[in-house]
Amino acid sequence: MARDLTIHHLFREADFKIDERDCIFSTPIRKTDLVLVENLTTGRFVAAEMSRWGVIEGQTFTKVIFKSTEMESDWIPLNAVFRPYPHLASLVFLTMRLEVLRSISCGDTCECTDDPEFVALAEHLKKQLAFKPKIESRPDPEFCNEDTHHQSYLNLFLPYLLNLPPISEKHEGIALDHSDSKGFFVKSVQQLEKDTDIGRYIGQYISEEEADRRIKLGKASNDRECKFYIYLTNLIVNGEEMTVGIDAAIHRNHLCMINHACKPNCKADTTTKHILAPGIVLELVNIKTITKIENNEELLLNYNMDGLKCWCSMTQNCRIRNQEDWAQPTCNLRKILNIKTNTRKRKHNDVSEGQETLENVCSDRNTSDANDNANDQGIQSSNHSSFNRELTVPESQFSGEDNRKNE
């Protein structure tokens, strides 16, 4: 019996073109996330949990501390860590299972699943599929008052010198708050009159293409906390309109934490124009109240987003969020667990489909800059995604995690 299988072998033998190390740059890794760690001496992977990370004194690259059942906690270079997307986790699991079955040519009753390496990794990958980050454990977000731009946005205009919009100070009448069911939200701390301008939606300006890439990443990550922070706006270049995104997932102010409601008390106003360079005009996104808002009321916007499973309960289509609202993994784990040897061909087809999705996402990595890498390595906890009147995202992107029992 061939018992010397490693994940490397498994990928190779199944003829998959998956560069697992690349994936770390395309999906956020958080502390306590489940990862696969490569033992640099043996080249084998073990299941592990991210414990801490940082830059070791005198070294130029980031290292992480991991905990695994097999080894003591240790510092390892970040590029030895692989956190597959949840649906990739199921593909890895499927590949292992297929390879083990193939290598020993046995039926379902074989002892191959007793192999300690297989069992440890399979357990690990199953946990990966059940990835459910908790909103309440989130650290307070950091805010700033200025926009910034991504390389993809600069590329649209070089060699022009861009004049970024001015600083937008936080309005004194609003504050950030948090609830277990909705995560962060914005509330008033004083009465706000109708038509009050409460500030500009701050973010990182990105090209439409980059916005698409980040949306794809959000989908591919299958993160149940999948949140949307990109607001699309218009840029008028020599009289022609083009779309750009303002991504507030990382670079943001309070306003990106305003939740959606079907009957909102605020609106996004794009009538203020800002001249970035001669002939290049940006439509700024200002948030304004559309009703009088009493002290201690939540500020709400209509995202006008198709497919949002809205929890605001203001219309018949909305409901209260519950556990079922989480996005389900795209790959059917139960199917994989019940795999039969004689269904091997069909399963291989399943794998190709999923892999295609993943490759599409990873292949766009070059458009991302150093800023992105920092974010993707878990420095921030938020997922990149988007909300806007023009975006249509499948329902599974808008899932929640808790019910409202704590409110």
Ligand X SMILES: C[S@@+](CC[C@H](N)C(=O)[O-])C[C@H]1O[C@@H](n2cnc3c(N)ncnc32)[C@H](O)[C@@H]1O
Residue among 11 and 311 whose Cβ is closer to ligand X? 311
CA distance linking residue 86 with residue 358, whole number of Å: 11
| Of 8-16, 51-59, 116-124, 306-314: span binding ligand X (CB under 6 A) | 306-314
**206 near 150, Cβ under 8 Å?**
yes
Residue 311 makes contact with ligand X by CB under 6 A: yes
Near ligand X by CB under 6 A: residue from 22, 183, 212, 267: 183
Q: Does 326 bind ligand X (CB under 6 A)?
A: no
Our CB check for ligand X shows the closer of 82 and 229 to be 229
Q: Report in angstroms how near the CB of residue 25 gets to ligand X at its nearest.
A: 23
Q: Rounded distance, CA 83 to CA 28, Å?
A: 9
Residue 324 or residue 353: which is nearer to ligand X going by CB?
A: 324
Cis ω on the peptide bond leading into residue 166 (within 30° of 0)? no
Shortest CB 178 distance to ligand X, Å: 8
Assess 250 for contact with ligand X (CB under 6 A).
Answer: no
Q: Which residues contact 251 (CB under 8 A, 6 or more apart)?
A: 144, 147, 148, 202, 203, 204
Residue 325 and residue 307: Cα distance in Å, rounded? 13
Query: Count of residues binding ligand X (CB under 6 A)?
Result: 19
In the complex, least distance from residue 220 CB atom to ligand X, rounded to whole angstroms:
16
Residue number with the smallest Cβ distance to ligand X: 183
Question: Which of 45, 118, 131, 398 forms a contact with ligand X (CB under 6 A)?
Answer: 398
Site for ligand X in 189-228 (CB under 6 A): 227-228
- Reference 404, options 320, 302, 316; nearest CA is 320
Closest separation in Å from C-beta 248 to ligand X: 7
Secondary structure (DSSP) of 45-98:
EEEEEEEEEEEPTT-SSEEEEEEESSS--EEEEGGGEE---HHHHHHHHHHHHH
- Chain positions contacting ligand X, by CB under 6 A: 182-185, 227-229, 256-257, 259-261, 308-312, 387, 398
